[in-house]
Each structure stands twice: as structure tokens, then as C-alpha cells.
Amino acid sequence: MKEVVLTAKEATAIEGWSKPSQQRSVEILSRYPDKRSAVMPLLYISMIENGYVTEDGMRQVGLLTGLSPAQVQSVASFYTMYKREPIGDYLVGVCTSISCFLLGADDVLAAIEDESGVPDGESGGDGTFSIEHVECNGACGGAPVVLVNWEMIEGVTPEKARELVRWLRDGRPDVVNTEEMQRLFGGKRAFDWGVKEPVGAILPVPAFGPYGSVGGEAT
């Protein structure tokens, strides 16, 4: 890793970010020979800091990477996991691609919409849920697949989907973990994943350790 020292302008751009996020940004920049390559992980950090990818966040990431705000926006708008509007504490995604569709994903999505009161593609007024349909998550053998803050549950029925929504709404878990949710709300899995995942997501952002989005035993 190369040593990275932020310029005064770069440091000022992110002085409103938490100290851990500032430190993570420097660590991430140090991993890349060309700092523009850090645009994607830095967008996740800006999303954690601001709740979603804001205009200011894109400007901040642009300053850190040497990209123009328009170039940063072109990345942020291409990938659907970067959210450019406020999202709920629990981002619930239902895969509606072919395998999941054939095994009842539309009914699972309808149950989640009905139980949460939040339509597909929207966020609830109280900030608890955002609901969306997503494309194939590569676990087609475990269809239908549901994701909560990108933690996967396989073999979900409409009834179990309703239980999941109630569990999230009433219990408001700080960490959502795929193993726990699979045990409580899942069914048949694509295959035995082998290694149990001890950590989970603490935010509606993928649980990648370096970004501060991870909770559980390994933190």
C-alpha cells in the first residue's frame, strides 16, 4: 500500500465525515495506484455518511478521486446498489428474475408490500423500510430469494416473508445476519454454503468490513 496524505482541499471536503470514515477513505485510497479507482468504495462511505449518495457526496468523492462530479454520478447512477434517495433502515429486496419468478417471487413481493405497507420501489414514511425488486443474486437453486440490507435468505414463502417484515418492524435488530434470517424465515438453500457467516449488516449498505457497515462477532 502506498502512503496517502490528503491535500488541504481534500481533507476539508470530508471534514464533516466521522473520523472512522475519514480514516477508511485514506486507507482505501492507499490501496490503489490511481486514486480514481477508489470511486466505488468511496461512494459506499459517502452513502454511509449521508444516508444515501447525495449531490454533496458525489462532489466529495470527486474531490478525493480527481474525478468530476459528472463522472462520479455516472458511476453512482449505473449501479443500483448506490441509492440516490433516502432509504429506510431495512432495504428489503426480492429477486424477481426467472428462477425466483417461476417459484413465486411475485407473491413473496406482494406479501412484503402488503405487510410493510410500502410499495415496490418506495420507502415507508416512518423510515423503517424500503422495498424493491432486484435482479438475480446467483442463488437460483434457493429461489425465491429475499435480501435484507443485502443479507440473503433463500426459499422464502409469502407467509415467511410476512413474518420477516413483522420481525424487522417489531424487533428492529441492529444487525441483520443471513444465517439467523435463513434459520427463521428461509427454506431450501441453493447448496450448503459451507462456511457460516458470523457477521451481518448494520446498515442498508452491503456488509463489507472495510466500510464500517458490518456488525456481529467479527467486528
- Interface residues with ligand FES (CB under 6 A)? 95, 97-100, 136-140, 143, 145
Give the residue among 78, 96, 91 at the shortest CA–CA distance from 40.
78
Give whichever of 73 and 97 is closer to ligand FES, judged by the CB atom.
Answer: 97
Give whichever of 127 and 141 is closer to ligand FES, judged by the CB atom.
Answer: 141
Distance CA 50, CA 61 (A): 12
Give whichever of 143 and 148 is closer to ligand FES, judged by the CB atom.
Answer: 143
Give the three-state DSSP class for 5: coil
Least gap, CB of 53 to ligand FES (angstroms):
25
What ranges in the chain are assigned the alpha helix state H? 8-13, 19-30, 39-50, 55-65, 69-78, 98-102, 105-116, 158-171, 178-185
Least gap, CB of 189 to ligand FES (angstroms):
11
Least gap, CB of 215 to ligand FES (angstroms):
25
Give the residue among 74, 90, 94 at the shortest CA–CA distance from 82.
74
Least gap, CB of 152 to ligand FES (angstroms):
9
Let me know: does 156 contact 187? Beta carbons within 8 Å. Answer: yes
Give whichever of 153 and 168 is closer to ligand FES, judged by the CB atom.
Answer: 153
